[in-house]
Amino acid sequence: MKLFVTGGAGFIGSAFVRLVLSLDKGIAIVNYDKLTYAGNLANLDSVAANPNHQFIKGDICDSAASARAMAGCDAVVHFAAESHVDRSISNPADAVHTNVAGTLVLLQAARELHIQRFVHVSSDEVYGDIPPSSFSDENSPLVPSSPYSASKAASDLLVLSFVRTYGFPAIITRSSNNYGPHQFVEKFLPLMITRALADKPLPIYGDGLQQRNWIHVDDNCRAILAVLERGRLGHVYNIGGPDVKDNLTMAHSLLKIMDKPESLISHVPDRPGHDRRYALNSAKISRELNWKPVIPLNQGLCQTVEWYRASCAR
Catalytic residue among 148, 179, 237, 308: 148
Among 261, 111, 281, 287, smallest CA distance to 200 is for 261
| Upper half-sphere CA count for residue 312 (Cβ side, 13 Å) | 17
Residues 6 or more apart in contact with residue 14 via CB below 8 angstroms: 8, 40, 43, 44, 182
Catalytic residue among 33, 59, 125, 275: 125
Q: Of how many residues is the chain composed?
A: 314
Does 148 participate in catalysis according to the annotation?
yes
Catalytic residue among 33, 124, 218, 275: 124
CA–CA gap between residue 138 and residue 196 (Å, rounded): 37
Alpha carbon distance, N-terminus to C-terminus of the chain: 37
Active site residues: 124-125, 148
